[in-house]
Chain A
Amino acid sequence: MKKAVWLALIAAVAFAVPLRAAEKRDFFKVGVVTELSGDLATGGNVTKRGYDLWAEAVNKAGGIAIGGRKYKVKLYYSDAQSNPSQGAAAAERLITQEKVDFILGPYSSGVTIAVAPVVEKYKVPMITGSAESPLIWKQKFLYTFGTIPPVNFTGAAAIQTLAGLSPAPKTAVIFGSNDTFSKATAEAFESAAKKAGIKVLKFNIVPAGQDLTPLMSAAKVLNPDLVAFGGHDEELIKLVKSLRQIDFTPKALLMHYGVTEPAFVEALGKDANQTFGGAVWTASEKTKSKILWKDSPTYAAAAMKAFHVPADYTQAGSSAAGIAFQVALEKIKATPPISEAKRAELIKALEGVDVETFYGRVKFATEGDYYHANVGLNPLTIQIQGGKVVVVGPKRDAEAKAQYPMTPWDKR
């Protein structure tokens, strides 16, 4: 009996292998490598929501229209576990075992930098809907694209907005966590501050996840007008609490990604108010599109309905990554499964993408330091006002006046 079961099993495997080789399918296999667990799971799951929403919307519309036929998309997830080497292994598995047609990339810059050489090796296009470190684009990977502009492109805008406030901040303390994205954010803040004539009194890169209260005590003595910090969600919450606990209110507090995450306001309540942040998209931004969602509010409403949490720019950027693939695939009329030659063609098509989406304009740079990053967007400066994300700069996009200087903690 046992022997028969074994034989049946071996036979099943033997038959299954040739079936796989002669793969024919009427849907696109889309690999997704992102951080579904570990330290960066919050952001990873934000990207997942963005990718899921895109896939759901595409499939609801019947699929991607190519040559009069519609092809649905199916997402294949692989968890990067917030670890660059796991991310690289996850991408390899998706490419060699699942044989995905293209990849939607990780949340964090650290994992993206590890995954990029893998997709380069197997010549599989990847668009990350989230990673923001300029280091990724400087390496000029042919097969890696990103829908969010690098942080030195966006972070500088926030400093410029602050420099235009009255009375303009004259001094700053700037620091960042020691990870790829946060460090780049802090460096972007520093160089923009120097350019804007703001004197940087202290600049530090600190180990991630630490209690920074003593460092804030040291900052308090310097009494800077501006405190700017590059970090991830939980670190931002801890930092505001530290400032609150040592009772130090600078004139302006600037952070970057994470301020727009609903958890920031939920965890801090009224202490979250008046924090500045950088963003490239908000739910109320004026955009117009013919693909899937007609504008930002429509997307935001769809996201709210699906996940019951407000969408931020990373989630929107992730959905836009799907749209970019969709547009390029339609242009080259690629049908699944996509061959290596067709994938090379897809890269050319992606480089030519210039499209208005609900998220704004998507256009990838084809040369220079921002190579393959989306440079079609305007960086926005946002501020939390009354628990909501409000655009306060640049002037032509502003929805409200910046609240400045910050109200002291005990007067809120």
Chain B
Amino acid sequence: MELLPQALVDGIMLGAIYIIIAIGFSLVYGVMHVIDFAVGEWIMLGGFAGFYLNEWTHVEPMLLLPAVFAVFAVVGYLFQPLIHRVLSGHRGNPLLMGLVFTFGLSLMFRGLAQTFFGFYSHSVPSRFSNGSFFLQEGGFSMTVSSVRLAGLLYALLITGILHYLLKHTDFGLGVRALAQNRDAAGLMGVNNKRTSAYVYGIYVGISAMTGVLIGMILSLSAKMGPDYTIFAFFVVVLAGMGYLAGVPAAAFLLGIIQSFFLIYLDPGYTLLAVFAILYTILLVSPRGLFGKGV
């Protein structure tokens, strides 16, 4: 019982990592109807960009995040037309085409990363990585790591900004219109190609920043991508495919389940528990936790 607050805090911190992994992924699915299997590799590439930038400039990686975002947002923006081309035209099953295309991308990025960055694992050194707060009240105590807290704040900030962008700007209106009905949005003057490119740019930028953060909290290696892709996929499926507002709740739920299993039950069955709960929820509510997915 004395571990309860710690289990909750650890779960929430884990959930925060899942939010930032999954939120851009969900946005891209909602707007472009692409299940981007390269999400883990965008995270990995961003992490390495942060790692080398830090090595080069010795600037605190937290402060490098905007620069990493800017570079990768441009990369994503320039990349999107390729995906658009694969999805459009008279092709049989655009969803499948997108899946195969991004899966291929992920393999290619991983291979290139192994060639250029080597096989070793790295860590992005940050002054936040070292600190922690210890709180004690009565019989309860908990330790909160400062770098994980920074991760949580970052996740909340990104969620807040995306919420504002989607609900309170003209661009967001266009994005939501596209997600609802591409043809009708086009007729109303929303430029599908350009809006999708912006969205993909934002997603790649967020994923890249997430990579830097993961490098600070956990570790970084050329082969890390698939682990994160799988969790992004789970969170998004649990939230409801393309239902952005469901992502934080789904991510926190997964994080807390995992944390409780690791602490209270058998750690060996953590992933089994996560999958079992995921499948049960999908059986009861196939469109995700809130029934609002596609």
State whether these chains interact: yes
Given contacts A207-B270, A210-B270, A214-B14, contact A267 B122 (CB under 8 A): yes
Q: In the complex the two chains form, what is the Cα distance from A43 to B76 in whole Å?
A: 33
Q: In the complex the two chains form, what is the Cα distance from A178 to B262 in whole Å?
A: 14
Q: Is the CB of B132 within 8 A of A217?
A: no
Shortest distance in angstroms between A138's beta carbon and chain B's nearest beta carbon?
A: 23
A258 (CB) vs chain B CBs: closest residue:
B121
Given contacts A42-B121, A214-B7, A215-B267, contact A241 B219 (CB under 8 A): yes
Of B23-31, B140-148, B154-162, the stretch lying at the interface with chain A is B140-148
Q: Is the CB of B263 within 8 A of A241?
A: no
Q: Is the CB of A38 within 8 A of B223?
A: yes
- Asked if B6 is an interface residue, CB under 8 A from chain A, the answer is yes
Q: In the complex the two chains form, what is the Cα distance from A205 to B145 in whole Å?
A: 25
- Asked if B170 is an interface residue, CB under 8 A from chain A, the answer is no
Given contacts A241-B219, A245-B132, contact A261 B120 (CB under 8 A): yes
Residues of chain A contacted by B3 (CB below 8 angstroms): 217-218, 221
Q: Is the CB of B111 within 8 A of A37?
A: yes
Residues of chain A contacted by B119 (CB below 8 angstroms): 41-42, 44-45
Q: Is the CB of A234 within 8 A of B263?
A: no
Given contacts A204-B266, A241-B217, A267-B219, contact A246 B143 (CB under 8 A): yes
Q: In the complex the two chains form, what is the Cα distance from A267 to B271 in whole Å?
A: 27
Q: Is the CB of B132 within 8 A of A211?
A: no
Residues of chain A contacted by B10 (CB below 8 angstroms): 213-214, 217
User: Per a CB cutoff under 8 Å, which of A204, A205, A263 touches B120?
Assistant: A263
A251-282 contact mask (Cβ, 8 Å, vs B): 1 or 0 = 00000000001110011110000000000000
Given contacts A204-B266, A206-B268, A245-B129, contact A39 B223 (CB under 8 A): yes
Residue of B6, B121, B125, B267 ringed by the most chain A CB atoms within 10 A = B121
- Asked if A238 is an interface residue, CB under 8 A from chain B, the answer is yes
Q: Is the CB of A217 within 8 A of B6?
A: yes
- Asked if A233 is an interface residue, CB under 8 A from chain B, the answer is yes
B89-133 contact mask (Cβ, 8 Å, vs A): 1 or 0 = 000000000000000000000110010000111110100011010
A237 (CB) vs chain B CBs: closest residue:
B219
Counting contact residues on chain B (CB < 8 A from A), the size range is 35 or more
B259 (CB) vs chain A CBs: closest residue:
A214
Residues of chain B contacted by A206 (CB below 8 angstroms): 262, 267-268, 270
Residues of chain B contacted by A44 (CB below 8 angstroms): 119
Contact residues, A32-73 vs B (CB, 8 A): 37-39, 41-42, 44-45
Q: Is the CB of A267 within 8 A of B121?
A: yes
Residues of chain B contacted by A268 (CB below 8 angstroms): 123
Q: In the complex the two chains form, what is the Cα distance from A214 to B13 in whole Å?
A: 10
Residues of chain A contacted by B267 (CB below 8 angstroms): 175, 204-207, 212, 215
- Asked if A244 is an interface residue, CB under 8 A from chain B, the answer is yes
Q: In the complex the two chains form, what is the Cα distance from A261 to B221 in whole Å?
A: 14
Shortest distance in angstroms between B162's beta carbon and chain A's nearest beta carbon?
A: 24
Q: Is the CB of A245 within 8 A of B14?
A: no
B110 (CB) vs chain A CBs: closest residue:
A37
Q: Is the CB of B132 within 8 A of A246?
A: yes
Residues of chain A contacted by B147 (CB below 8 angstroms): 245
Residue of B7, B123, B148, B217 ringed by the most chain A CB atoms within 10 A = B123
Residues of chain B contacted by A245 (CB below 8 angstroms): 129, 132, 143, 145, 147-148, 217
B124 (CB) vs chain A CBs: closest residue:
A267
User: Per a CB cutoff under 8 Å, which of B13, B129, B262 touches A244?
Assistant: B129
- Asked if B137 is an interface residue, CB under 8 A from chain A, the answer is no
Q: Is the CB of B263 within 8 A of A218?
A: yes
Q: In the complex the two chains form, what is the Cα distance from A221 to B125 in whole Å?
A: 27
Shortest distance in angstroms between B206's beta carbon and chain A's nearest beta carbon?
A: 20
Residues of chain A contacted by B2 (CB below 8 angstroms): 221
Shortest distance in angstroms between A246's beta carbon and chain B's nearest beta carbon?
A: 5
Shortest distance in angstroms between A248's beta carbon and chain B's nearest beta carbon?
A: 8
Q: Give me 9 A-to-B residue pairs in the complex whose CB atoms sit less than 8 angstroms apart, sorted by A's number.
A: A44-B119, A211-B218, A214-B11, A215-B262, A215-B267, A217-B6, A221-B3, A267-B121, A269-B125
What residues of chain B have their CB less than 8 Å away from a CB belonging to chain A?
2-3, 6-7, 10-11, 13-14, 17, 110-111, 114, 119-123, 125, 129-130, 132, 134, 143, 145, 147-148, 217-219, 221-224, 227, 258-260, 262-263, 266-268, 270-271
Given contacts A41-B119, A245-B129, A269-B125, 13 further A-B contacts (CB under 8 A): A38-B223, A39-B223, A204-B268, A210-B270, A213-B10, A214-B262, A217-B6, A221-B6, A234-B219, A247-B132, A263-B122, A267-B120, A268-B123
